[in-house]
Amino acid sequence: DSGVTQTPKHLITATGQRVTLRCSPRSGDLSVYWYQQSLDQGLQFLIQYYNGEERAKGNILERFSAQQFPDLHSELNLSSLELGDSALYFCASSGSNEKLFFGSGTQLSVL
Amino acid sequence: GQNIDQPTEMTATEGAIVQINCTYQTSGFNGLFWYQQHAGEAPTFLSYNVLDGLEEKGRFSSFLSRSKGYSYLLLKELQMKDSASYLCAVRHAGNMLTFGGGTRLMVKP
């Protein structure tokens, strides 16, 4: 158990819908990262937050947004969903040693 | 931009040694990580190199040459449970961690 909690584990929705993925980092970790992993693809960096502030942005679509709350949990919002958004979404957190610990992921299926 | 290359697939025999290479081109290099990922599961940390040289941790070792933009992960005494994807990731400017496409290792009896 990495200590990073992601909910829900599975999500099935339809095109055009909006979903929210939730992540609770390890106790004491200030940084939260979001990654997308499509079938047989590598991990694609989406966005990073540090102590509530956006720190780095990757190839995140404009339809996607994220935030980190004062209690350090983070949410990733995906809107106007398309079939191609179906993927495994991972959250990771890190502390001062910068080693990333990953949650078990949310499997999103857009039908 | 960042470019990280590693072989797509490798096959090895149980009990043998396998070396998985990773080459990278990046700005502001600040460390290289190796992660193991079993299908459908979360990546788990294996090793971290920020200085040149070899880091050994049990059956797994990782090597880094910053001047060559090159790293490898060495797995000894392979076990069937080592069948997984191995991800090379580089931390670079802006504190971002970029992953390579991963190397799918199949260990055969």
* pLDDT per residue as tens digits for the range B6-38: 999 999 999 999 999 999 998 888 899 999 999
> Of A42, A44, A90, which is closest to B42 when you measure between CB atoms?
A90
CA distance B81 to B91: 28
Q: Tell me: the pLDDT tens digits for A20-35?
A: 999 999 999 999 999 9
> Starting at the edge strand that comes first in sequence, how are the strands of the sheet with A5-7 ordered?
A5-7, A19-24, A74-78, A64-68
CA distance B76 to B70: 20
Amino acid at A60: I
Query: Within 13 Å and on the Cβ side, how many CA atoms surround A5?
Result: 5
CA distance A37 to A27: 25
Residue that has been written with the tokens 């780095």 in this structure = A56
- Name chain B contacts of A106, Cβ cutoff 8 Å: none
CA distance B5 to A104: 25
How far the first Cα of chain B sits from its last, in Å, is 41
Contact B48/A102, CB-based, under 8 Å? no
CA distance A80 to B60: 44
User: For residue B19, what pLDDT is reported?
Assistant: 98
Q: Which helix (H) or strand (E) holds B45?
A: strand B44-49
Per-residue pLDDT band for B94 (boundaries 50, 70, 90) equals low
Contact A42/B95, CB-based, under 8 Å? no
Interface of B with A (CB under 8 A): 31, 33, 40-45, 48, 87, 89, 91, 94-102
3-state secondary structure A38-61: CCCCCCEEEEEEECCEEEEECCCC
Contact B87/A55, CB-based, under 8 Å? no
Average pLDDT over residues A71-94: 96
Q: Tell me: the pLDDT tens digits for B42-87?
A: 999 999 999 999 999 999 999 999 999 999 999 999 999 999 999 9
Does the pLDDT value for residue A40 go beyond 80?
A: no
> Of A45, A88, A107, which is closest to B97 when you measure between CB atoms?
A45
Does the pLDDT value for residue B1 go beyond 70?
A: no
Contact B105, B17 (CB under 8 A): no
CA distance B75 to B29: 25
Does the pLDDT value for residue A4 go beyond 80?
A: yes
Nearest chain A residue (CA) to B38: A104
